[in-house]
Amino acid sequence: MISSKDFFAALEDLEKEKKIDKEYFITALESALMSAYKKDFGEAQSVSVKLNPEKNTIKVVAYKTVVEEVLDPDKEISVEEARAIKPSYKVGDIVGQEVTPKNFGRIAAQTARQVVMQRLREAERGNVLQDISAKSEQLTTAIVRRINGKDVYLELGGFENEGYLAENDQIPGERFQIGDRIRVCIKRSKEQEIAGQVVVPVTRASANFVRKLFELEVPELESGEVEIKSIVREAGFRTKIAVYSSDTNIDPVGACVGNMGSRINNIISQINGEKIDVIRWSSDVFEFIAAALNPAEVISVEIDELTKSSKVIVPDNKLSLAIGKGGMNVRLAAKLTGWKIDVKSESSVADSVSENADSFLKFSTSLDDNKGDNIDIFEDLETLD
């Protein structure tokens, strides 16, 4: 038997400091110490290690089966030897004997260090994962603590671990300085480990980040008077957000924009000047698609419900605005509405109609040219009858 008061006192301190139940460590230590014992004193033995925090003791117990004739001393014990321990033992019984070596304290200390460090990492990872799960998609304030290349490490409100803002989670073009106070959104993903440290992944580039900024800035969203029906984003360039209110006395777009643009300007200032189109959501597909192409003016919308596609006609001078740089505006409008959108200028449609009319005219003329032949054919058919 080994007295290890300091060992168990350390576990108590660990439990208080890290808020991890010492039983979590004890179970792992018993398994690890059993493996350590077998490695040094014989793999074939059937043993268990028992840690008793109340008595501050660690002991190794070997188990052997009672037999008439011992063939394997590591696993068997004779009836005579067993009954010397306890007279009631009989063949087939299992006898447990303490076999704790004198130098097992040193082995225990070495093993404990490795196991505790491993379990600490696992427990920390588990706690972080639990926190991420509970707070995922939430907005929090962070302070820039260090910058490594293009990766930014943050002190996060509500987390003991560092926040990690990767380059692809940043708004293109933004720059940070140590001490900057910024808002970030907790990513819905597993924790990451960088350089042996567990970090909390965060983002400023997601559509949900802008959604949360609106919820923070617009009281009508928090109260439920205004609802965000859809939001899409290409970070650093443009966000489109479709809002709705069942209360006819509330203008959902006006509520989000605010008096003289006060609310939306506060949001834009936090996303590096990114453009935001606030659109009134409508159950009328024609209206919704037309509104989604804001800021472009729309002349008409045709839809094909079978393919969920639409053709939109815009004035000639609004075509580039409707499509947007690199097709961004029409692409975001399609994502916002869930419909394929094909944008055409008014003149291109008119030219197409004109060409079709010319083709029809030529075809009619051709029929007129062959009119006599056609009559002859009909007459021949009558003759056959």
Reference 284, options 228, 247, 337, 233; nearest CA is 337
Single-letter amino acid code for the residue at 64: K
Residues 179 and 220 in one domain: no
- Angle at the Cα of 89 from the Cα atoms of 83 and 94, rounded to 5 degrees: 115
* Tens digits of residue pLDDT in 281-317: 999 999 999 999 999 999 999 999 999 999 999 999 9
**CA gap 133, 156 in Å, rounded:** 15
Listed in sequence order, the DSSP H helices in the chain are: 5-18, 22-41, 79-85, 104-135, 207-217, 219-223, 252-257, 262-270, 285-292, 319-323, 328-337, 346-369, 371-384
The DSSP bridge pattern shows strands 197-203 and 275-280 to be unpaired
Within 10 angstroms of residue 198's Cβ, the number of other Cβ atoms is: 19
CATH of residue 41's domain is 3.30.1480.10
Structural domains counted in the chain: 4
**CA gap 122, 198 in Å, rounded:** 10
Phi, psi angle pair for 247, to nearest 5°:
-85, 115
Residue 374 reports pLDDT greater than 50: no
Domain final residue pick, 96, 130, 164? 130
Q: 378 vs 370, which has greater pLDDT?
A: 370
Q: 17 vs 140, which has greater pLDDT?
A: 140
Give the domain range for residue 368.
Answer: 284-385
202, 187 Cβ separation under 8 angstroms: yes
Lowest mean pLDDT among 71-75, 133-137, 274-278, 329-333: 133-137
Single-letter amino acid code for the residue at 179: G
Q: 132 vs 76, which has greater pLDDT?
A: 76
Residues 121 and 195 in one domain: no
Confidence of residue 367 (pLDDT cuts 50, 70, 90): very low
233, 331 Cβ separation under 8 angstroms: no
CATH of residue 211's domain is 3.30.300.20
Tell me the pLDDT of the chain averaged across its residues.
Answer: 84
Residues 263 and 241 in one domain: yes
Reference 281, options 230, 221, 333, 214; nearest CA is 230
Residues 56 and 6 in one domain: yes
Residues 299 and 332 in one domain: yes
Please report the pLDDT score of residue 193 as a whole number. Answer: 62
Identify the DSSP state of 41.
H
Residues 253 and 267 in one domain: yes
Please report the pLDDT score of residue 38 as a whole number. Answer: 77
Q: How many CA atoms lie within 13 A of 168 on its CB side?
A: 1
Lowest mean pLDDT among 17-31, 49-63, 184-198: 184-198
Phi, psi angle pair for 54, to nearest 5°:
-65, -40
Q: Which residue, chain included where needed, has tokens 């959108």?
A: 341
Residues 105 and 147 in one domain: no
Q: Please name every residue paired with 341 in a beta bridge, in sequence order, or none if there are none.
A: 310
Residues 368 and 381 in one domain: yes
Domain final residue pick, 255, 281, 307? 281
Within 10 angstroms of residue 191's Cβ, the number of other Cβ atoms is: 21
CATH of residue 160's domain is 2.40.50.140
Quick check: helix, strand or coil at residue 319? helix
Please report the pLDDT score of residue 375 as a whole number. Answer: 38
Domain final residue pick, 231, 249, 281? 281
Complete DSSP assignment for 150-178: TEEEEEETT-SSEEEE-GGGSPTT----T
Residues 97 and 28 in one domain: yes
Residues 112 and 7 in one domain: yes
Residues 25 and 106 in one domain: yes
Residues 121 and 150 in one domain: no
Q: 361 vs 57, which has greater pLDDT?
A: 57
